[in-house]
Amino acid sequence: MRIALIRRRYAATGGAERYLAQLVAALAGTGHEVHLFAHSWTVSPPGVTLHRVPVPVGPAFVRILGFAWAAHRMTRREAFDLVHSFDRTIRPDIYRAGDGCHQAWLDRRRAVEGGFIRALDRVNPLHRSLLSLERHLFQGGCRRIIANSRMVRDEILRYYGTPASAIQVIYTGVDLGRIHPAREGAARAALREALGVGPDDPVVLFAGSGFERKGLRFLLEAVGRMRGMRGLRIWVLGKGNLRRPRSLADRLGIADRVHFAGPVADPERWMAAADVFVLPTIYDPFSNACLEAMASGLPVITTTANGAAEILEEGRTGAALADPRDVTGLAERMAEFLRPAGREERAAAARAAAEAFPLEGHLKQVLAMYDEVVGEVRA
């Protein structure tokens, strides 16, 4: 097949970016002709033709709308068997709703942040633009929608009345060969030694770009209530504004416990050296990092507003809090999962749960959808 993939930014770091890189490599490796339409990229995947999509200069909503229309025009100029978009664009054959349902995100954020944010959202042209593109896609603007969790599927059905037959839930897969438990391996010892962390010190790992949405402040507030736990360390991976979390850590008296590593290309190395993964997110369609952490043998503590909570077994492979603001409950769950007793059993259970989602199985489902859609178009 001659396939066009659309993604505004193509980079080497970030869960969504790593997912797309795996899909691109798999498609190119199985003989498909793959074209990637993007405005910018930091890596050039082998066997893939790159097309730079122009974006007008201006505020965010202008750039988003400009990219959507430009990508639509460029992909329609050539004879592709299938157009698969990973951003909100115009009339792709398949849209993967990896960013979830924007209306659902706004409602969840308003519930957490309060009235001032609610008032700003109503007049912000960025949100209005995203909702307009979302409405187009979910109300007939594409042939198929891939939802990466049941949560996202249900949100699309609830907010937009999309026919259920147009949506398929395909959970993200994980590369089980690249990511695996290495709790006692050299990588674990080396990273801990480099960061001045003892071999038995409890380590909590957080990974996610956009610290406000991912709930970093709730994690820091919970850690502030755990100052009696000796040796506790927090490792923060991802991109975001550090001013607020650094200031909060200082006020809580835990600045010496928190290490901000920034975006990393090898999160599996950090996962191998940590003890529990925590993501108290306000909204996440399905955090790839949670699945990768489980594949690394880490129990995961997140919220029910994360689609990845659907694959957790409460109390065994992790926990999901109903409210990200429940920092007392979060502190209690972290203390529970950081106990040395039962640690190896929890690690084995987390790995076993992740093994139900191999990358190969995910790709097989995506390719099956490709064949189905192409068959419909040709017919």
Domains of the chain: 2-173+358-378 (3.40.50.2000), 186-354 (3.40.50.2000)
Query: Is 58 exposed, middle or buried, given 0-12, 13-18 or 19+ CB atoms closer than 10 A?
Result: exposed
Predicted pLDDT at 182: 66
pTM: 0.92
Predicted pLDDT at 184: 52
Exposed e or buried b per residue across 98-113, where buried means at least 16 C-beta atoms within 10 angstroms of its C-beta: bbbbbbbbbebbbebe
Exposed e or buried b per residue across 270-296, where buried means at least 16 C-beta atoms within 10 angstroms of its C-beta: bbbbbbbbbbbbbbbbbbbbbbbbbbb
Please report, as a single letter, which amino acid is at residue 175.
D
CA distance 86 to 96: 5
Cβ neighbours of residue 164 closer than 8 Å, sequence gap 6 or more: 157
Predicted pLDDT at 113: 78
Predicted pLDDT at 191: 92
Predicted pLDDT at 77: 93
Predicted pLDDT at 23: 84
Taking the chain (379 residues) in runs of 10, the rounded mean pLDDT of each run is 91 70 82 91 82 94 96 94 96 96 92 72 86 96 97 97 96 89 76 93 95 96 93 94 95 96 90 96 96 96 98 96 97 95 92 95 93 88
What are the φ/ψ torsions at residue 44 (nearest 5 degrees)?
A: -115, 100
Query: Nearest to residue 41, comparing CAs of 81, 15, 10?
Result: 10
